[in-house]
Amino acid sequence: MQTKIAIIGVGLIGGSLALCFKGKPDITVVGYSHTREVMERIEARGVADEVTMSLEEAVHDADFIFLCVPVGILGRYLQQLSRLPLKPGCIITDVGSTKASIASAADVLSLHDVHFIGGHPMAGSERSGVEAASTLLFENAYYVLTPSQHATEEAYQSLEKLLAYTKSHVIRVEPRLHDDIVGAISHLPHIIAVALVNQVRAYNESNELYRQLAAGGFRDITRIASSAPDVWRDILLSNKEVLLRLLEDWRCHVDRFAEMLAEENGEGIERAFREAGAFRNELPERRKGAIQPLYDIYIDVPDVPGVIGQVATVLGVRQINLSNMQIIESREDVPGTLRLSFRDEKEMEKARNLLMKLEYSVYV
Ligand SMILES: NC(=O)c1ccc[n+]([C@@H]2O[C@H](COP(=O)([O-])OP(=O)(O)OC[C@H]3O[C@@H](n4cnc5c(N)ncnc54)[C@H](O)[C@@H]3O)[C@@H](O)[C@H]2O)c1
Ligand SMILES: O=C(O)C(=O)C[C@]1(C(=O)O)C=C[C@@H](O)C=C1
């Protein structure tokens, strides 16, 4: 029997889910887009078997409906679904980054013979749109499902079985607890990154050197400041109460640093770094397949033509399996840094030994 999956909103997350399901036995993936322009991009990227601009057609006879639109319009789509003829027993889920508001919005479906299960894959990127979609995005990431009175245990199990195609680890978390935790580990960091970039952007207006000198530390902590503004507006507004509380706590932490500086409390500063470092070093390995392969090495190379070819040739001759090569620093008149990513630790070690023979600095 054919399983029909409708993906509503085929961007980074919807497109990545579509790619995980497309081509699997007895599965048909139908993408829905609200504009012709986005529809054409979805078709060009080839992530779905069919693409339509009719919501009714997309969800007609669907076994699973994934709502992958920005958080602010999830409720509106649930309302629309409640007015459409859906297949009895159909499982509706979402991927929104907050979970409490959608859990209560799902009450609108209570009179229907359908299931609703809130969902949130803990994987993503600062990139957006279907062009950024990847089959590997969810690999090894946690995928949160929230307990719901609108779904049976059998429905959970069907969804979990389908999500096995994403190679993620499904975990169940209550919506409010989810929003507290994800507020701290995802939403607050996005606010801090944006505020920091805007602080430096203001200084840069009077002196371009700020931008020119911005190096690894600034880039590392601010990558997520490039995330999609509309998606993040909705996420932050829908977790407002939690974030206001977290920002109060954040102010206390910043004030504490200011005090330590004013008092020249070197011991306190050292302790803060020691405690933070110990906690951070204990974080689980980055759980992404596509964006963060497991074993990276870095190589500082001069900014001269042919250097990438030289590195590729050294590895190619020994048939070393490289997953990705990326220039992560490229500035005028200074060496650039190449990041070489390997799926296998032994391959990475072999590559490191070979590259050390070139006269560049190689480090992990
Ligand atoms: N970006 C991340 O890292 C991440 C991670 C996990 C979950 N999420 C959640 O996933 C959802 C989608 O985010 P994304 O990063 O894939 O964003 P995206 O911008 O890449 O994709 C959103 C898609 O929704 C479409 N869309 C926008 N308005 C629409 C409308 N009115 N009707 C139909 N389609 C519409 C857009 O055209 C786009 O294709 C959000 O709810 C977000 O909170 C994002
Ligand atoms: O890695 C990133 O760029 C992300 O922003 C991913 C990230 C996160 O903050 O960890 C962002 C939003 C999500 O809802 C889940 C994951």
Tens digit of each residue's pLDDT (9 = 90 or more) over 315-358: 887 778 787 777 765 544 556 778 888 877 788 888 888 888 78
Distance 278 CA to ligand 2 centre (A): 23
Distance 97 CA to ligand 1 centre (A): 10
* The predicted structure's pLDDT at residue 132: 96
11 lines ligand 1 (CB under 6 A): yes
Question: Which ligand 2 atom sits closest to the C-alpha of 126?
Answer: 3
Question: 3-class SS at 110?
Answer: coil
Q: Which pLDDT tens digit goes with each residue over 303-317? A: 777 888 888 888 887
CA-CA-CA-CA torsion sign (306, 308, 309, 314): positive
121 lines ligand 1 (CB under 6 A): yes
Q: What is the homologous superfamily of the domain 3-173 according to CATH?
A: NAD(P)-binding Rossmann-like Domain (3.40.50.720)
Q: Which ligand is nearest to the CA of 178?
A: 2
* The predicted structure's pLDDT at residue 290: 43
| CA distances (Å), origin 281, targets 149, 160, 277, 284, 286 | 38, 31, 6, 8, 11
38 lines ligand 1 (CB under 6 A): yes
67 lines ligand 1 (CB under 6 A): no
Q: Which pLDDT tens digit goes with each residue over 169-202? A: 999 999 999 999 999 999 999 999 999 999 999 9
Distance 88 CA to ligand 1 centre (A): 27
Distance 69 CA to ligand 1 centre (A): 4
Cβ pair 109, 82 in contact under 8 A:
yes
Q: Please determine, for residue 294, whether its predicted confidence score (pLDDT) is greater than 70.
A: no
CA-CA-CA-CA torsion sign (350, 353, 359, 360): positive
294 phi, psi to nearest 5 deg? -70, -35
Task: Name the residue with the closest Cα to ligand 2, atom 1.
Answer: 125
Q: Which pLDDT tens digit goes with each residue over 8-67? A: 999 999 999 999 999 999 999 999 999 999 999 999 999 999 999 999 999 999 999 999
Q: Which residues pair with 341 in a beta bridge?
A: 296, 324
Q: Which residues contact 235 (CB under 8 A, 6 or more apart)?
A: 71, 96, 97, 98, 187, 190
What is the rounded end-to-end Cα distance, in angstroms, of the chain? 49
Question: Which ligand 2 atom sits closest to the C-alpha of 189?
Answer: 9
CB burial of 46-68 (b: ≥16 within 10 Å; e: otherwise) equals ebbbebbeebeebbbebbbbbbb
Task: Name the residue with the closest Cα to ligand 2, atom 7.
Answer: 124
Q: Which ligand is nearest to the CA of 31?
A: 1
* The predicted structure's pLDDT at residue 320: 83
The mean pLDDT of 225-243, rounded to a whole number, is 98
Closest to 339 measured CA to CA, from 294, 272, 283: 294
- Chain-wide mean pLDDT for the chain? 91
Task: Name the residue with the closest Cα to ligand 2, atom 2.
Answer: 125
Q: What is the ipTM of this complex?
A: 0.99
* pTM over 0.90, yes/no: no
346 phi, psi to nearest 5 deg? -65, -40
CA-CA-CA-CA torsion sign (38, 26, 6, 149): negative
Distance 187 CA to ligand 2 centre (A): 8
Cβ pair 91, 99 in contact under 8 A:
no
Q: Spell out the domain ranges in the chain.
A: 3-173, 177-281, 295-363
More confident site: 75 or 356: 75
97 lines ligand 2 (CB under 6 A): yes
Cβ pair 67, 78 in contact under 8 A:
yes
Task: Name the residue with the closest Cα to ligand 2, atom 5.
Answer: 125
Distance 233 CA to ligand 1 centre (A): 12
Distance 68 CA to ligand 1 centre (A): 5
| Four-way CATH pick for 295-363: 3.30.2130.10, 1.10.3720.10, 3.30.450.20, 3.40.50.720 | 3.30.2130.10
Rounded to the nearest 10 degrees, the angle between the axes of helix 188-204 and helix 229-238 is 130
Tell me which fold the domain 177-281 belongs to. Answer: 6-phosphogluconate dehydrogenase C-terminal fold (1.10.3660)
